[in-house]
Structure formats: structure tokens, C-alpha cells
Chains A and B, each alone.
Chain A
Amino acid sequence: DVKVTQSSRYLVKRTGEKVFLECVQDMDHENMFWYRQDPGLGLRLIYFSYDVKMKEKGDIPEGYSVSREKKERFSLILESASTNQTSMYLCASSLYRNQPQHFGDGTRLSIL
């Protein structure tokens, strides 16, 4: 079974801080994704990566960046956290681009 592990279940940070969310997958998947989930809006894609050191913007990349130095690890970075980035963040991975994605359990991030 695919295991996607997000480093924190809950995180509280202050406005202006630089925040790192980490995600690791153990199935040698090429593709990794970061989403945010908000009530009534479903899942919205922030960034994705098809290979090491490669990244592409999703639908809502503003205020975020990502890093993929190793195949199994995909990090989401909030450069200067703001209150409107309070949300549930979900990481996912897939073997091929058109294959279903496997999700981690999410990080609930609160920015005070």
C-alpha cells in the first residue's frame, strides 16, 4: 500500500513566519502534489512536481513555493504566512500523471 506521510497533523504559526510543510511518499512515485482544502471550495491545487527539482504552478500558487530535492520528498513553503493561509493542506502522490492520487492525512495549519 502507498504511504504518504505529512510531518505534522496540526501546526500553529504566526503571521509573517516562514512555514515549512513536509511530505514523504514511500512508493517511488514520480508525481507529487500539494492541495489546500477549504469548506465549500473542495481541493485546490497549489503546486505539483513531475520529477526531482521540477515544479509547476497549480491554480493558487500565490504566497507559496515548493522544493523537491529528492524523489520521495515534496515540501511546501509559505514564504511569509498570512491569516488567509489558515487551511487544511493535503499532499498527494501518483505513479503516472493520469493515475489516481494517494493522499496523506493532511496538516491543519492555523496562522495567528
Chain B
Amino acid sequence: GQQLNQSPQSMFIQEGEDVSMNCTSSSIFNTWLWYKQDPGEGPVLLIALYKAGELTSNGRLTAQFGITRKDSFLNISASIPSDVGIYFCAGSNTGNQFYFGTGTSLTVIP
């Protein structure tokens, strides 16, 4: 199965800092998703992207569908302690299956 390259693997940042992470694929995707997983819980959908170049925000989170359709980016502005968790990207090209990245673990230091 296909795996997406997600980076960085982990981040340790100070509260208030901005965060950037990205996801790349060897294949073209039609849909990109970003999820967040809190400790001990399942992933929760943050943002869905359906069009190349699309830029979508959800509060302090902004995600972009790369114009090559092989990558996507997630930014978090002014991080707070509750942003701690694992962030996953997921992409789909056929609609039959979503492929998931390996995750970015975010730690926010108060």
C-alpha cells in the first residue's frame, strides 16, 4: 500500500509559536484530509481539501492542497497547550481508499 511522507516526525515548540507541517505523495491525489489525534482517542477530522490550490481555514488552523496535487500543508498559528497531539494527513486518488501519513507528534511547552 501507498504511504505518505509526513514531516517533521515530531515538533517541540513554545506556546504562542506558529507550526508548519507537510505531507507528500508519489501519486496525484484528488482529496487531502488533515486529522488530529489526542492521546487515548481516535483521529478527529480538522480540514478537508478537494481542489488543487485550495486554502481552507478552521480557526487557527490553515491547510493547503498543493498545486502539484502531490502535497499538502498544515499550519497552526499561535499554538496553545491543547494543540498537543498527533497530526495525520490522508490522501485519496480514486475514492476507494484513503492513505495515511505517519503522523507529526506536536508538543507545546507552556
Contact = CB atoms under 8 A, between A and B. Distances in A.
Interface of A: 4, 35, 40-45, 48, 58-60, 90, 92, 96-98, 100-106
26 contacts: A40-B102, A41-B102, A42-B88, A42-B100, A42-B101, A42-B103, A43-B43, A43-B88, A44-B100, A45-B1, A45-B97, A58-B1, A58-B97, A59-B1, A60-B1, A97-B96, A98-B30, A98-B92, A98-B95, A100-B33, A100-B45, A101-B45, A103-B35, A103-B43, A103-B44, A106-B40
Contacts of B41: 105-106
Nearest to A102: B45
B102 A48 contact: no
Nearest to A35: B100
A32 to B, nearest CB: 13
A4 B42 contact: yes
Given A40-B102, A42-B101, A58-B97, A106 B3 contact: no
A80 to B, nearest CB: 23
B54 to A, nearest CB: 15
Contacts of A92: 42
Contacts of B101: 42
A40 B103 CA distance: 8
A53 to B, nearest CB: 19
A92 B48 CA distance: 16
B102 A101 contact: no
Interface in B46-67: 48
Contacts of B92: 98
Contact of A101 (B6, B30, B96, B98): B98
Contacts of A43: 43, 88, 90, 100
Nearest to B95: A98
B101 to A, nearest CB: 6
A40 to B, nearest CB: 6
A106 B41 CA distance: 7
Contacts of B100: 35, 42-44
